[in-house]
Amino acid sequence: MSINFTTATIKDFENIPDNDMAQRAEIFYEYLDYVKSNGHMNYRLKNTSGTNAILNVNIADQNREFVSFVSSDYLGFTQHPKVKQAAIEGIEKYGTGTGATPLIGGYFDYHNALEKRISSFFKRTEDEAVVFTTGYTANSASLQCLMQKEDLAILDMAVHASVHEGCAFTNKKTFPHNNLESLEHILKVSENLYRTKLVIVDGVYSQDGDTSRINEIYNLVKKYNAFLMVDDVHGVGILGETGRGTLEQTGLLDKVDIITGTFSKTFGNLGGYVIADKKLAAFIRFHSRQQIFSATAPPSSAGIVKAIDLIDEEPIWREKLWSNINYFKKGLDDLGLDTGVTCSAIIPVKIGDPYVTGEAGKLLIEKGIYTNPILYPAVPRKDARIRMSVTARHEKEHLDKTLNAFDDINKKLHIAKK
């Protein structure tokens, strides 16, 4: 089987019939060389400075400064002095690691404090949180222990890959993104066929930046006696009157069955959490394989508690973020570019053609703008786009430089809406 590199995507190399793992790796390595030769390799670049609006990146053994839109550090808390100081104090008190899993000695008082603080942040004082070393495992590991062969997971097709992985060992049905008619059909025909029916959606979706139709979904879930899990990693700190995300915005903070999220975006650190009824939380603690066999988050995660506090203590960061979002999106829209239906800090410029999207990413790099072209399978084949995350650390000069770059690129590649 031969693969046409000009139209190929990474997914085409997952399994090549009659080629063993070494042969598949060799073919894929050739493909990477082809992508690099076209200047379309905007991935796994080597950063040499901390996450910020300006990022130093090493390309071809040369350090260059870029305006960065590749980070989900939406409020800029990775660089906040109070967050850094709290992380430093955690290391000074406990050292650099935990040396054990939660079950056998790796559970410290700062983990407990973090669990209590994140559940209280969401005003779930009767529930409990379980912390994980990544947001990815918060979804994948918890779902793998909760959902078995007698159960059914019902997923919006646009949910994060970690959710799909978590449902690998249970029955799974998907419905088109935000399509309530399809969701209700699945709930109706499955009503008496499965022990547990769990609907899983994102609060804000990672590629289009749009929100879930969460109120209507909640009503359907309750109508058909199912459970609802919401992953709101891209909404927390950004949406809602006090930054508590999509669920605060829709009045459902105290109503959904399970909330999951990550500390690696708004909270400027690493890790994830699951918030649920205390009995479910206890079940996850003793049945999740990640909780049993993987070491716990390091003491630097003490900085997360301070980041959570800052959501309320310093709302100026959320205000600055929204000022940047509105300014930047209007600028892109005024250029005639397609930003889709985003209503968050995630702003795509939809182009469609994968090769043209790669060319746009290449030209942006040349102009000192670091973005990521997003291609299939992350998005449909004909829905390629440049994906950008706006942060509170961006200044107007950074946004203007990027808008000018897009203006120039549009004149060359004609990527504006027809």
pLDDT score for 418: 65
Confidence of residue 51 (pLDDT cuts 50, 70, 90): very high
Rounded CA separation 139/406 (Å): 36
Domains of the chain: 39-68+322-413 (3.90.1150.10), 80-312 (3.40.640.10)
C-alpha closest to that of 308 among 244, 364, 366: 244
Task: Please report where in the chains the tokens 């959490």 appear, as a residue.
Answer: 273
Q: What is the mean pLDDT of residues 327-332?
A: 98
pLDDT score for 61: 86
Cβ–Cβ under 8 Å, residues 298 and 134: no
pLDDT score for 328: 98
Ramachandran class of 259: left when φ > 0, alpha when ψ lies in -120 to 50, beta otherwise: beta
Confidence of residue 6 (pLDDT cuts 50, 70, 90): confident
102-121 pLDDT, tens digit each = 999 999 999 999 999 999 99
- Whether residue 381 has pLDDT greater than 90: no
In the chain, % of residues over pLDDT 90: 92
Confidence of residue 339 (pLDDT cuts 50, 70, 90): very high
Q: How close are the terminal C-alpha atoms of the chain, in Å?
A: 38
Task: Please report where in the chains the tokens 């042969």 appear, as a residue.
Answer: 23
In the chain, % of residues over pLDDT 70: 100
128-155 pLDDT, tens digit each = 999 999 999 999 999 999 999 999 999 9
229-286 pLDDT, tens digit each = 999 999 999 999 999 999 999 999 999 999 999 999 999 999 999 999 999 999 999 9
- Whether residue 403 has pLDDT greater than 70: yes
Predicted TM-score (pTM) of this structure: 0.94
Rounded CA separation 198/277 (Å): 15
**386 - beta bridge partners?**
349, 373
